[in-house]
Structure 1
């Protein structure tokens, strides 16, 4: 389990990726949402590991984070579907030289 945790990127790294993507002129929403999911997941994991010392406010925050993560996953699946529908149309479009 320790080696698995060492292989996963840290929250700091995910925040770096998120800021990097935001700095792009045309930020990719799918990538932003995936990074948000990773950040939220790591925050939830940290809180759950310390569950014995959690206050009621901490538990409420975890619940909000879980709901947020669920919404993000739904958003990611919608973005993937849109990309799949958009891709065939772009392939059929005549190329401009």
Structure 2
């Protein structure tokens, strides 16, 4: 049972986290985007595991999910840069 500790959280759990974050008064966009990436990644993995039984529509959906995931990762990168920039503006370097 030692390996059970290292399993990735399920889609259901990620959806729960997403809903909890949405319910917050000031939802954090970075956390929402990261959770969306995890959900999308799990859905892609599930589809790819069943690739033999996939239809053409399923493959098109996987392609859209991959594009969506790429867009989310780009968005997360931008949010991180913006947060870093705002943090550096709030804490200017000390002058000796």
Q: Same fold (TM over 0.5)?
A: yes
TM-score scaled by structure 2?
0.89
Give the equivalent residue in structure 2 for 1:95: none
Structure 2: 5+ residue stretches without partners: none
State how far apart, in whole Å, the 2-side matches of 1:90 and 1:73 are: 26
State how far apart, in whole Å, the 1-side matches of 2:73 and 2:88 are: 24
- Number of matched pairs: 89
- RMSD of the TM alignment (CA)? 1.2
SS in 2 for 1:89: helix
Structure 1 consecutive aligned stretches of length 4 or more whose deviation exceeds 2 Å = none
Deviations 1:28-73, CA, capped at 9 Å, x for gaps: 0000000000000000000000000000000000000000000000
In the TM superposition, 1:40-59 aligns within 5 A as 40-59=40-59
Structure 1: 5+ residue stretches without partners: 93-97
State how far apart, in whole Å, the 1-side matches of 2:18 and 2:90 are: 28
TM-score scaled by structure 1?
0.88
